[in-house]
Amino acid sequence: MDSRSLLLLGMLKAQSRHGYQINEFIEHNLRDLIPMKKSTAYTILDRLGEAGLVSMVVDQEGNRPPRKVYSITEEGERQFRQLLKDNLEMLDLKHFEEDVGILLMDELPIAEAMAALREKLRRIELEVNKYEKVPHHEVRPGVDMAIDHHLSLLKAERDWVLRLMGNLRTKTQV
């Protein structure tokens, strides 16, 4: 999962930051899109430093805890560009987990399967509502695009589940 490295490089490309700052930014701006834990950021920053993709300077103001401020290096920018292109080309819809359930669905009484699908539908609606309420984001045009992407796939999923439920219903009635 190099996308985490890509994200950090991208944030450092925009401006130098220390680890805490990065985690703050993610929590405040990307919390709905990026499920990355704080300790992970610290670990990856170390890794990027060892690889020479970022440089680090310690900055201490008064008695406050020292900050490690990271900046992207030239090599880091090159790598970033390549990683980003690779990522944009990438196709990696991994709904394998969900497919297993679909695959085995016929092992469940239809009534129970339908109940489960209704619950799933409810969850999809909740997600859709949540993302539709997220306000327009000015700093990063990408945020809006990513949310739009999210919504597109959520709606496709919703349509598919509805179609599936329709099929099951007619099958039962026949």
Partner DNA sequence: GGGCGCATGTAATGAGTTACATGATTGA
Partner DNA sequence: TCAATCATGTAACTCATTACATGCGCCC
Assigned token pair, 73: 């290096």
d(CA 113, CA 5): 40
What is the contact mask toward DNA in residues 14 to 53, using x (rule: CB under 7 A)?
----xxxx-xx----------xxxxxx-xxxxx-------
CB of 67 to DNA, least distance (A): 4
Number of alpha carbons in the 13 Å side-chain half-sphere of residue 38: 9
d(CA 27, CA 44): 17
List helix spans (H) across 105-140.
Answer: 110-133
What is the contact mask toward its own copies in residues 119 to 158, using x (rule: CB under 8 A)?
xx--xx--x------------xxxx-xx-xxx-xxxxxx-
Q: Are 10 and 80 in contact (CB under 8 A)?
A: yes
Residues that bind DNA (CB under 7 A): 1-4, 18-21, 23-24, 35-40, 42-46, 62-68
Which chain residues interact with its own copies by CB under 8 A? 1, 3-4, 6-7, 10, 13-14, 30, 33-35, 80-81, 84-85, 87-108, 112-113, 115-117, 119-120, 123-124, 127, 140-143, 145-146, 148-150, 152-157, 159-160, 164
